[in-house]
Structure 1
Amino acid sequence: AQLEAANQKLAAQEELQKQIETLQASVTSLKEENGSLTTQLKEAQDKITTLTDIQAQLEPPKASVTSLKEANATLSTQLEGAQTAAAALEKLKADLPAKSDELATAQGRIEELQNKITQLQTNADDLKEKTTALAAANDQVSELKAKLTTLSQTLTKNKELTKTLQDRLTAAEAKIKTLNDALAQEEKLQKQLAEKETAFTQVQQNLAALTTEKQQLAGKLAQSAAVAAQLAELQSTFSTKENEIEQLKATIENLKGSAKEVEGLKQQLEEANQNIKALEEKIQTLQKEREQIIRKSKDSDKDGVSDADDKCPNTITGAKVNAEGCEIDSDKDGVVDRLDLCPNTASGATVDKLGCAENAKIVLQDINFALGTAKLTKTAQKSLNGVAQILVGLPGMKLEIAGYTDNIGDSKRNQELSRKRAQAVMDYLVKHGVPSDQLSAKGFGEADPIADNATAEGRAKNRRVELHRVQ
């Protein structure tokens, strides 16, 4: 719609341009006609002047007078024509400002339309850029939707896998219950077997006693054949005992069968125990797989590394970590960067709990102040928060906070300013938990520069705060 409006405005502009050209042509024609009329008027005036001179100087005859009157009439007619032309010229001159105004208005309108065309072109360019940006945004949305679909599919698969594992776990638990019931039954059979073995032992003892008694009776029968009644009684008793022995033997055979049954149950129990062990191992494997899946989707310490891949699962919130989920130690000195006040220690150097070598200068990083004051900037306060966290964890370590300046300005003033800045750092650390008896503050002014004061960069390095170990 804007493009169509612009085309309409452009057509209107072309029409106005044509009108302007027509007006300009009319003005040119009027100017030419004005020039011609001016020439004719001048010629007529010259003739009138000549005629007047002739009339004043000569007294011609009457015939000449008539001729002159005719000539005068002709000249008067020409004069009237010239005056009419002059009036027309004056009218054209009067109309010229209005035409000029129309021309100026048209030119203003042209400029206005040109500005609108320029604005429309700018709007079209902006619209094109926005269209491009919208297309890029749509591409990003499509990409994000694709990623979301992939993640949703992965989540669905994980849920299905979890359900499968849960079903397998439920089945395993049911199997374990069945095996536990079998184990309880086996224990019951073991108890019955023990009771039968006790009864079997008692029967064997009774059998041995009866056998001994039989042998005694047989001896008595051989020795006393005369005692028939006693023998008959003994034989009857013997028969009775033999029946009892047969019954006992049958009982023993039954017990032997029970023993075989018990052996079978023992074998079943052994197989059941092996199955239970295999199921327990399988359950442990499934539980490990389930835990691994859960750990893959969980990040307990919120460091961006899943628990399954996190070798340092208890990293504090906000700490920078590597791909293994452990805090970064850039200089490999055994002190992580978050707690290292000397993060660029040379390889192999022995460091203290601050991460600094024995004789290293401990220059606190990003400790800046408002110009000419001891007021800490927000950047300095943020840096000191980390220093306070380190020192709070090192009770008993005594440190001197040393302030330094560059060599610009009065040395006494620099000395006092460095002291105030050191004191400001100490006050901030104490306010944030560092015991005051661990710290002291001192200003060193321009002393002991660590860079060239002849350059702005060197002076910036010399304006610093250090920590000095107090022995």
Structure 2
Amino acid sequence: MRLSSALIIAITFAAAAAVSVVAANFSVKLIEETSEIGVRDALDDAGATWAEVQADGLTVTLAGTAPTEADRFAALTTAGTVVDAARVIDGMEAEAVAAIRAPRFSAEILRNDAGISIIGLIPDSTDRDIITDRFAAMAGAETPVADLIETANYPAPEGWEDALGFALVAMEQLPRAKVSVSAGRVAITAITDSLKDKLALEKSLKSAAPPGLRLTLDISAPRPVITPFTLRFIIDEEGARFDACSADTEKARTRILTAATNAGMAPEGRCTVGMGVPTPNWAQAVEQSIAALAKIGGGSVTFSDADVTLLAQEGSDQGTFDTVVGELENALPEVFALHAKLPETQAPDQGPPEFVATLSPEGQVQLRGRLSTENLRNIADSYARSRFGSDSVYTAARVVEGLPSDWSTRVLAGLESLSYLSNGAITVTPDKLTVSGNTGNADASAEIATLLAAKLGEAEDFEISVTYREKLDPVASLPTPDECEAQIKAITDSNKINFEPGSATIDAGALGTMDDIAEVLKTCGELRLEIQGHTDSQGREEMNLSLSQARAQSVLNELRARRVRTSTFEAKGYGEERPIQDNGTEEGREANRRIEFWLIRPEPSAPTPQTTLESLAENGDNNPEDTTEDAAGSTASDSSGDATE
């Protein structure tokens, strides 16, 4: 049977189509293989062995994780050199880039008479306006504040806010200082006017430091300016001693004290190193004069700048006096002028005229004896009232004739000397002015000697017998924090702080105990103190915790009402979690219901050797591992009944 021509044509086209499809599939496979192999080889040659290549028809997909965004882009570029870049599909990822390390936050604060400046880098979270406002308030309206602070949008590291807050508080006490602040650390360099101020400032700053803060103090007390430059050395029946001693250098101080020791003084003598010496030969002149006084056998030698007054003891040998004085006049450096005197021995009589002023420990002053004129009596009375208070002075002195011409000068100088004492007396006679008594100022003898040397002039005799009493010293007499804690414990051991049942209201019977605690705290200066509230285990735990917090806060409020400075106090309730006795008995529950006063003690940790400030800040300074333990010695008990369900 013959096929029709139409069928033959149809079969021919079908066969051709089949051949075309097979050829197209073969071509696509060939292109895929060629593209995949070519791109992979190119990437391997470029070092991008991490990239995976998969061809799908005419498209080439790149996958894998590139080390960086730059490596990912380089792989795309390399693939685009083998096949059309439009055929390359990017399925790659880049490794996550580590977060940029936070900067080291720090600040330098400088304060002096010219103003305040602060420079450094602080977190955005720190309120910059509060800082600048605080400094503006310190500086005053007429003193500039230079704000050179930069900020960075990173979280504040641990310890930063505590360190900066302490620095702001410290700056209020430091008119001349540099304070460096970093997370968990404050370094203070400052200058004070005296050693006494230095010790008081160090004590105040240490007590105010937050727990865990690393505090470095470098506080100096510059040498005082002594005007006039004064020294007074005495040898009498009580022994050899200084009433006042000044030296211009440590070496001069050692020479002077050695000379005094050789003349019979105990080795623990004091001598102030200061500025204002009239000549570099000061130590030489003092050594020679002290040795001369020892040869005479007794008396006093007084230096007021370059004026030297040597008063021999009454009854000294005239020949020895003349010889020693002659030798001293020739030996003293040229700038010094010597005035020497040997008092005449007087026959006993009714005694010389005298003026006496006494100051009692209660602050009462009596003026008795003789004055040369009515005008002097009025002046002495007015001067005493201005110094000691109008209601504290009683004048019973009388006016007589025949007194020395310098009597008024000696009386007023004596009254001024009396103001350096806590209690004592001054006696003025024609030949001598005597000052005696007790003081809380360790330098009072030297200050009185300087005053009298300046007021009385050359060749005038005076005697100073002043005793330093630590209990009268406003700084040295302050109890230590541990002593304050012990005093409060003694009060609360004998008189418990009770509360009304189930309430935070202090029982009326315990208000006297609060008065006693307040009086102790007023003498303690600035303390970091935690007032803790504790309960027994009766009632719900949450209610007991809330009640203990309220009671601790109530005690804090009572102290504030009694004008106790409580800015460094904290009130914290612990509920039933810290019993001190068994809650299974009534006696135990009563003991567990209590208020405790505990010192908050800083726990400084010294850096390891070879560790720099920068490495500390970078490697853990922001996360100190200090542990805070409760201070030893609980000091009080609180209430009657706790909250019950």
Classify the TM-score, shorter chain: under 0.3
What is the TM-score of this pair, normalised by structure 2? 0.20
Q: Higher helix fraction: Structure 1 or Structure 2?
A: 1
Highest CA radius of gyration, 1 or 2? 1
